[in-house]
Amino acid sequence: MINPGAFNYVQIDRVVYGQPAAASIVAEAERLGATNVFLLVGGHLNRDTDEVEKVRRALANRFAGLFDRMPAHTPRDAVLAASDVARSAKADLIVAFGGGSVVDAGKMIQICLRHGIRDMDGFEPFRTITQPDGSLKAPPMEAPLVRQISVPTTLSAGEFSPNAGCTDPRGKLKQSYRHPLLAPRAVILDAAPTVHTPEWLWLSTGIRALDHCVEALSSLKSNPYCDGTAMQGLRLLGEGLPAVKRDGGDLDARLKCQIGAWLSMTAVQAGVPMGASHGIGHVLGGTCGVPHGYTSCVMLPNVLRYNKPVNADRQRLVSEALGRPNDDAGDVVGDFIAALDLPRRLADVNVGPDQFQLVADNAMHDRWIHTNPRPIRGPDDVRDILAMAA
């Protein structure tokens, strides 16, 4: 039986792929009539490569300002600092050129500019709240007037979502913000700048994209359309990530990964619920400081094992897409992660049993804990999964 539903198209004008980033950014600025382009970029990309300078030169008098100090998990205080620079530059277009935290920061700057947020408490009226029953309370928010384009250099694929994650450093909680127009006007996928992305970051965020595909296929509320894109995304990531591991200069493999990550977000865009790997992962990031991609590396195989009693048939699709149709999906995914030399246990990312209760309590505030295929009734169930991953 096909689950009834509706597909929610994200308001992205277009995706440009396989073309040079600098020229593509200029073309998009011209198309959108932007005259004051603000660059929000990764620090390593700006300070240790010439990729950002290429963009500055190409923009010429359209270049209005730059910020390159966004930490992981997009903390509020850094967003405020970046917003001040964008405001002073009179930005009419934001270009987010870097990893997932930079892309999220671009979305948050849009909120800050629209609503005049200038201090830490100013974010509070706009964050999405997960109710005890798992339902979401999304407060009203004015449509942003300054939009962005995204040029990702990692594979988490948040650029294809109208959601933003931002961490309140005071409570170490990563929180969600949503508006349809937080999605970028355009996404530019250029493999060439990604050769500067550290290998561990490229590969681990690739596992994050793989996690989107796996939790979509594992969902009891998926549909044939999203199954198709998730399966193809898994195939491309399953081929591309090991190829980049073998040869970091293989641009065809890198573009294959980028397109796999793009496909991985189709189910998220459509509203197919993710599960506990995402839900716990958000908390491991915001509360424990675990890099975004690593959270999927350590949680996904164990969440698959936890869920197997209720979705074994769905999990067979995961094993099939990764070329081992007769094997347990938790083992298939775990072996794939191990072959990339990525961490597989919570101990490998410095999360110990003394933190499990805090992680479990905070996880209950994440919407995707409440949509896990095998129901999670409280913090004790989260602790059981954490113990499997210890």
Give the domain CATH number at 87.
3.40.50.1970
In the chain, the amino acid numbered 373 is: P
The C-alpha angle 78, 141, 159, rounded to 5 degrees, equals 55
Q: Which amino acid is at 1?
A: M
Radius of gyration of the chain (CA): 20
The whole-angstrom separation of Cα 376 and Cα 390 is 19
Q: Say what the pLDDT of residue 363 is.
A: 95
Boundary residue ending a domain (140, 163, 192): 192
DSSP 7: -
φ and ψ at 186, to 5 degrees? -150, 150
If you average pLDDT over residues 25-45, what whole number do you get?
98
Give the separation between CA 219 and CA 53, rounded to whole angstroms: 43
Q: Do 263 and 204 share a structural domain?
A: yes
Task: Express each pLDDT in 255-290 by its tens digit.
Answer: 999 999 999 999 998 989 999 999 999 999 989 999
Same domain for 39 and 167, yes or no, is yes
pLDDT (0 to 100) of residue 9 = 87
How many domains does the chain contain in total? 2
pLDDT digit string, tens, across residues 351-360: 999 999 999 9
Predicted model pTM: 0.94
Do 125 and 81 lie in one domain? The reply is: yes
Residue identified by tokens 């004790």 is: 380
For 15, phi and psi rounded to 5 degrees? Answer: -120, 125
Domain boundary among 143, 163, 192: 192
Q: CA angle, 83 as apex, 39 and 113 as ends, to 5°? A: 110
| Mean per-residue pLDDT over the chain, rounded | 96
Q: Is residue 4 part of a domain?
A: no
CA distances from 94 to 74, 167, 194 (A): 16, 21, 20
DSSP codes joined into one string, 244-279: HHH-TT-HHHHHHHHHHHHHHTHHHHHT----HHHH
Q: Do 99 and 21 lie in a common domain?
A: yes
Distance CA 87, CA 68 (A): 15
Final residue of a structural domain among 157, 192, 227 = 192
Q: Which residues pair with 187 in a beta bridge?
A: 15, 150
Q: Tell me if 360 sits within 8 A of 333, measured CB to CB.
A: no
Domain boundaries, position 221? 199-389
Q: How many residues does the chain have?
A: 390
